[in-house]
Amino acid sequence: MTKQKGNLIVISGASGVGKSTVIAELLKKRNNICFSVSWTTRKPRDGEIHGINYFFASRNEFEHMIAEGEFLEHAEYVGNYYGTSKSQVMKRLEEGYDVLLDIEVEGAKQIRTNWNKAVFMFVIAPSFAELENRLRARQTDDDEKIKKRLARAKEEYKEIPAYDYIIVNDTVENAVKEIEAVLTAERCRKKERLHLMKEV
Does 168 participate in binding a second copy (rule CB under 8 A)?
yes
Q: Does residue 112 interact with a second copy by CB under 8 A?
A: no
Q: Minimum distance between the CB of residue 119 and a second copy, rounded to whole angstroms?
A: 10
Asked whether 8 and 96 are in contact (CB, 8 A), the reply is: no
The yes or no reply on residue 151 touching a second copy (CB under 8 A) is no
- Answer yes or no whether residue 55 interacts with a second copy by CB under 8 A: no
Helix (H), strand (E) at residue 166:
strand 165-168
Shortest approach of a second copy to residue 9 CB, angstroms?
A: 12
The stretch among 37-45, 71-79, 80-88, 124-132 that binds a second copy (CB under 8 A) is 124-132
Q: How many residues bind a second copy (CB under 8 A)?
A: 37
Q: What are phi and psi of 84, to 5 degrees?
A: -110, 125
CA distance 131 to 179: 19
Residue 67: exposure state from Cβ atoms within 10 A (0-12, 13-18, ≥19): exposed
- Contact status: 194 vs a second copy (CB under 8 A): yes
C-alpha triplet 183, 195, 71: angle, nearest 5°: 55
* Residue 82 in the binding site for a second copy (CB under 8 A): no
CA distance 143 to 123: 23
Under rule CB under 8 A, which residues in 25-54 are in contact with a second copy?
Answer: none
Question: How many other C-beta atoms are found inside a 10 Å radius of the C-beta of residue 93?
Answer: 17
Interface residues toward a second copy, by CB under 8 A: 1, 121-122, 124, 126-128, 154, 157-158, 160-161, 163-168, 177-178, 180-186, 188-190, 192-194, 196-197, 199-200
